[in-house]
């Protein structure tokens, strides 16, 4: 038998080894915490921004190079490099914006969950309606000055 067949024929040998996950992963391989990549709208809009950034960079560089009279081969190289730069710039901007948006959405969800229902609040008592200055003076035991 070959060595390769010996390695694969041993039952349970490879099954005992646990795969090491990336930093921040739990045992199931799922990342913990909010993520732009897992957000349904964010991932779509980041992809879209990258595409537009690459196209705008490519087109702008090609147009400007053509107007400057650059030879065709150099025009193509400049356009491709500018397209790559536009792609990376759009990606960085879109991910930065969506990081803030995802965190803001999470904060809004937490605030909505913790907010008290306005229908559940009790009616204010007459002491609650009194001006704050007089209530503080009355609590101190002094007479209010008018």
Per-residue DSSP letter, 117: P
Residue range 81-103, pLDDT digits in tens: 999 999 999 999 999 999 999 99
Please, what is the average pLDDT of the chain? Answer: 78
Instruction: Count CA atoms closer than 13 A to 75's CA, side-chain side.
Output: 13
| Selection from 54, 62, 52, 45 nearest residue 86 by Cα | 54
Q: What is the model's pLDDT at position 138? A: 53
Q: What is the model's pLDDT at position 33? A: 76
Helix (H, G, I), strand (E, B) or coil at 105: helix
pTM: 0.57
Within 10 Å of residue 77's Cβ, how many Cβ atoms?
14
Q: Helices 40-67 & 72-114, crossing angle to 10 degrees?
A: 150
Query: 């739990």: which residue's tokens?
Result: 26
């Amino acid at each position: 038998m070959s060595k390769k067949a010996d390695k694969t024929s041993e039952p349970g040998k490879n099954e005992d080894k646990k795969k090491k996950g990336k930093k921040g992963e739990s045992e199931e391989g799922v990342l913990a915490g909010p993520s732009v990549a897992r957000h349904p709208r964010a991932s779509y809009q980041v992809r879209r921004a990258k595409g537009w950034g690459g196209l705008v960079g490519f087109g702008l560089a090609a147009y400007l190079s053509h107007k400057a009279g650059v030879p065709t081969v150099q025009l193509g190289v400049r356009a491709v490099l500018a397209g790559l730069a536009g792609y990376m710039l759009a990606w960085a901007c879109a991910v930065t914006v969506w990081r803030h948006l995802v965190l803001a959405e999470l904060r809004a969800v937490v605030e909505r969950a913790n907010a008290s229902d306005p229908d559940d609040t009790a009616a204010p008592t007459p002491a609650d309606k009194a001006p704050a200055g007089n209530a503080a003076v009355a609590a101190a035991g002094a007479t209010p000055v008018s």
